Amino acid sequence: MSCTVFATTIEQLEDLARTEAIREIGIAAGLALIDHYAATMSVEQLERLAEEALTPGLRIAAQRAIAQSEDPLQILVGLTEEELLGLAVSAETADDRLDAARTYYIKIRRILTVDRLESDAADLENRELALAAGEALAGFYSSVAPRNENALIEQAVNGATEGLRIAASRALSAGWIRTSPLKQEEIMAKIAAHTIWHTELAEAYMWVLANRFSGSGSAE
């Protein structure tokens, strides 16, 4: 796959979302398709696409388009902290466990600290709780407990757990979306360089690429 392809139309985004050559580029294209799919496809069409699509980019586009009208977190927000913790550990699917874990951290956000989240993100026993903690921790890294770019890159590559790497990855993407001068083809090249060996760093660039795709102006 060439890293010089520009995605400026829905058709081009769908072509990228169908590719399996570089996973993060396909997912970035899928993320940029969410609003279009939510506006133009029925729930039945989206459910069929989410089930039958052969690539993660298209599946994610369909799944998240469905979630826009059926936000699972709205259902969970009425549960107690204990109930959410239970679901985060024992719900049947990984998606359900992650939704419960995310809602749990939203529910207790006023008492969260960097130390608490770093400890939770280092948990090796409960993957979804660690991932959700990492996502919440990224917000701290981007605001009240800022880390410099080099420190975040080091953590995204060499963090001890997936949760800690995700925290750094999401903080990097948030910063790069605001400040990076990289163009689409340059971001694609960064993803291609890291996709196999440094997954979370590739995913940081993936979110920046999705933002570039969404802001292209012609993918309506």
Q: Is the pLDDT of residue 19 over 80?
A: yes
Q: Is the pLDDT of residue 2 over 50?
A: no
pLDDT band at 8 (very low <50, low <70, confident <90, very high): low
Average pLDDT, the chain: 91
Q: Which tens digits make up the pLDDT trace of 96-126?
A: 999 999 999 999 999 999 999 999 999 999 9
d(CA 60, CA 63) in angstroms, rounded, equals: 5
pTM: 0.87
Burial of 219: CB neighbours in 10 Å, binned 0-12, 13-18, 19+: buried
Confidence (pLDDT) at 5: 44
Sequence-distant (6+) residues with CB within 8 A of 210 are 27, 28, 29, 31, 32
Q: Which tens digits make up the pLDDT trace of 154-179?
A: 999 999 999 999 999 999 999 999 99
pLDDT band at 220 (very low <50, low <70, confident <90, very high): very low
Sequence-distant (6+) residues with CB within 8 A of 181 are none
Q: Give backbone dihedrals phi and psi of 217, rounded to 5 degrees, phi first.
A: 90, -20
Instruction: Count CA within 13 A, CB hemisphere, residue 203.
Output: 15
- SS3 category, 219: coil
